[in-house]
Structure 1
Amino acid sequence: MNVSEVSKLMDTILSIPGMNDPVKIDLKISRRQVLVLSHVIERGVTGKEGSMAGLLESLPKEALTELGQLSGECLQKAGLVELYEKLKNLGK
């Protein structure tokens, strides 16, 4: 599928009734996984280190913002905000 087709498909899926309804997810993952997940989300949302994949290109700006907020919440709950920021600064 080309980028245009992926974009149309994602727009259709995101328009399905109920897709904006909140869902409670009980998730237990290691702190290591939280760090990796946050890094992956940030790379995808900011488009760093290469262009974003077709899926992320087709998401609305609000969805990307929500992903960033989710990443921040996970780091906060795991007590890793300060460590994550320090790790980011090491990579600069």
Structure 2
Amino acid sequence: MLTTNEVAQVFDTILSIPGMNEVVKIDLKISRKNVLLLNHVIERGLSNKDTEKPSILLKSIPDETLQELKVLADECLQKAGLIELSEKLTLLGESSK
């Protein structure tokens, strides 16, 4: 069994492979429902308050890369025209706690 440090080193090695920082174009066609769900999953995964113990992978990723994922999630919402709906659903979810 690998230790936490060893797993972090493996993730770091994989993310350091030449070409991993190259930009790729992905032509993705998904429903608005799935865009909304994807955005929610990304935001929840990046949020420290929703998880008591973040994954080793997220711990080893620089904040700049995590911010890029957040921007990607927001761009998906914008392209699908769901920013306002997402904001209202977030407020609704917060008020029910």
TM-score by length of 1: 0.91
Q: Deviations over 1:38-77 (max 9, x none)?
A: 0111011122321322221221111101100000000000
Larger radius of gyration: 2
What's the counterpart of residue 55 of structure 1? 57
Q: 1:46 and 1:54 mapped to 2: Cα distance?
A: 14
Q: Is the 8 A contact 1:6 1:58 kept in 2?
A: no
- 1:49 aligns to what SS in structure 2? coil
Q: Measure the CA separation in 2 of the matches of 1:67 and 1:3.
A: 24
The one-letter amino acid of 2:55's match is A
CA RMSD, Structure 1 to Structure 2 (Å)? 1.2
State yes or no: 1:19 paired with 2:5.
no
Q: Across the two proteins, how many residue pairs are aligned to each other?
A: 92
Q: Distance in 2 between matches of 1:29 and 1:5?
A: 36
Which residue does the alignment assign to 1:75?
77
Q: Which residue of 2 aligns with 1:39?
A: 40
1:66 maps to which of 65, 68, 75: 68
Instruction: Give % identity.
Output: 60
TM-score, with length taken from structure 2: 0.87
Unaligned runs of 5+ in 2: none
Unaligned runs of 5+ in 1: none
